[in-house]
Amino acid sequence: MRGRDTRLLFCTTGILLRRLLVDRKLEGVTHIIVDEIHERGMNEDFLLIVLKDILPRRPELRLLLMSATLNAELFSSYFGGAPMIHIPGFTYPVRSHFLENILEMTRYRSTPYNQIDNYGQDKIWKMQKQQTIKKRKTQIASAVEEALEASYFGQYNPLTRDSLSCWNPDSIGFNLIEHVLCHICRNERPGAVLVFMTGWDDINSVKDQLQAHPLLGDPSRVLLLACYGSMASAEQKLIFDKPEDGIRKIVLATNMAETSITVNDVVFVVDCGKAKETSYDAINNTPCLLPSWTSKASSRQRKGRAGRVQSGECYHLYPRCVFEAFADYQLPELLRTRLQSLCLQIKSLQVTTWKYFRLSIQGNAVTRTTICSKCY
């Protein structure tokens, strides 16, 4: 964007890093604004390392980091006690319903068999995968299982206790999602529903299942939409349009709907508690893209999507004790992915603070050793 006194460039983090390859000091740039910094992507964290290296040589350069769920103290201390500004915003109250509350409210009964997400093209593979006992588990997955074992649900009715006792934390729960959406459509006030799924495959599968339902698949009563990163512009427009009276809009979305977009008429949120994220298996030396539990910050951000225009409801498809076991923030991508390509960028940019970056690497011993050995 250009004006008489203004030059604005909107770009991705990757584009800015590429510019740094040919313009090490960002000559002509007076301000840099980095939004959604809480996502802790590899490029975003590396950009901050590079900018910290540049600032002593460009003291007049102004850097602004923004986020709705930012751990501000962490970033402030990284930049030597940089000032923090909190701008309060108004949202309507949103009531949380965790799995135990949902089971009590809807009288839904979970069994070992109705939790298998066996819909879609890969249903045989999904059934085999979900019935296989995992030998190695992530730290958060182990914490979730320990929290479940230590929890007591004696205050709930026997049907709820039976359902909780056989709840499978590795399942997304397509049948439960269908049941919750039916409950909302039949019993709750008007308003759009935002359903957080792990990725396009699950969105496509659960959409097929819902379209086969007599209520949820009736286009005169329900408008089913998908929301994901590479969707066409025409489809995006439908997400933001208000449907006709008497039709409830249901949006099946990836975690991009946490912060990247805002659907103003959302009153209900259904949160599966998971998102697909890249990771690195240090033992087998292989990259992975698998569903994993989100953080408390992500869970609160998803919940907040329901309180934009009126009070809302959030249905968390996992028990409260599981939420309490979540990490406060998601593990940074630098600590869970292969770093060879990043190391090449570091060498290209001749980052003098690389030694401080190396010392900041945390995580388990195998990951630390592998990361450091691959970077030299």
* Structure confidence by residue, pLDDT tens digits, 318-355: 999 999 999 998 888 888 887 777 777 777 766 555 44
- Pairing between β-strand 94-97 and β-strand 248-253 as defined by DSSP bridges: unpaired
Q: How far apart are alpha carbons 167 and 173 in whole angstroms?
A: 10
With tokens 């379209």, the residue in question is: 211
- Does the pLDDT of residue 287 top 70, yes or no? yes
Pair 144, 293: CB distance under 8 Å: yes
CA 300 to chain centre: 11
pLDDT at residue 302, as a whole number: 94
pLDDT at residue 294, as a whole number: 93
pLDDT at residue 138, as a whole number: 61
Report helix, strand or coil for 302.
helix
pLDDT at residue 122, as a whole number: 56
Number of helical (H) and strand (E) elements in the chain, helices listed first: 15, 10
Q: How far apart are alpha carbons 299 and 326 in whole angstroms?
A: 9
Phi, psi of 327, deg, nearest 5: -70, 155
Among the listed residues 163, 183, 46, 165, the one whose alpha carbon sits nearest the alpha carbon of residue 110: 163
Compare 315 and 256 and report the one with higher pLDDT: 315
pLDDT at residue 368, as a whole number: 47
Q: How far apart are alpha carbons 279 and 287 in whole angstroms?
A: 6
Handedness of CA 13, 18, 23, 24 (dihedral sign): positive
Query: What phi-psi label fits residue 136: left (phi over 0), alpha (psi between -120 and 50 degrees) or beta?
Result: beta
| pLDDT mean across residues, the chain | 84
| Region 273-297 average pLDDT | 84
The set of residues, in sequence order, having a beta carbon less than 8 Å from that of 355 and lying 6+ positions away, is none
- Does the pLDDT of residue 108 top 60, yes or no? yes
pLDDT at residue 360, as a whole number: 47
Residue type, 57: R
pLDDT at residue 149, as a whole number: 76
Write the burial class of residue 362 (CB in 10 Å: 0-12 exposed, 13-18 middle, 19+ buried).
exposed
CA 312 to chain centre: 20
pLDDT at residue 374, as a whole number: 54
Pair 322, 272: CB distance under 8 Å: no
DSSP characters for 5-66? S-B-----HHHHHHHHHH-TT-TT--EEEE--GGG--HHHHHHHHHHHHHGGG-TT-EEEE-
* Per-residue pLDDT reduced to its tens digit, 207-257: 999 999 999 999 999 999 999 877 877 778 889 999 999 999 999 999 989
- Does the pLDDT of residue 356 top 50, yes or no? no
129 falls in which pLDDT band (50, 70, 90)? low
- Does the pLDDT of residue 137 top 70, yes or no? no
The set of residues, in sequence order, having a beta carbon less than 8 Å from that of 270 and lying 6+ positions away, is 177, 180, 181, 193, 194, 195, 196, 314, 315, 317
CA 37 to chain centre: 13
- Does the pLDDT of residue 365 top 50, yes or no? no
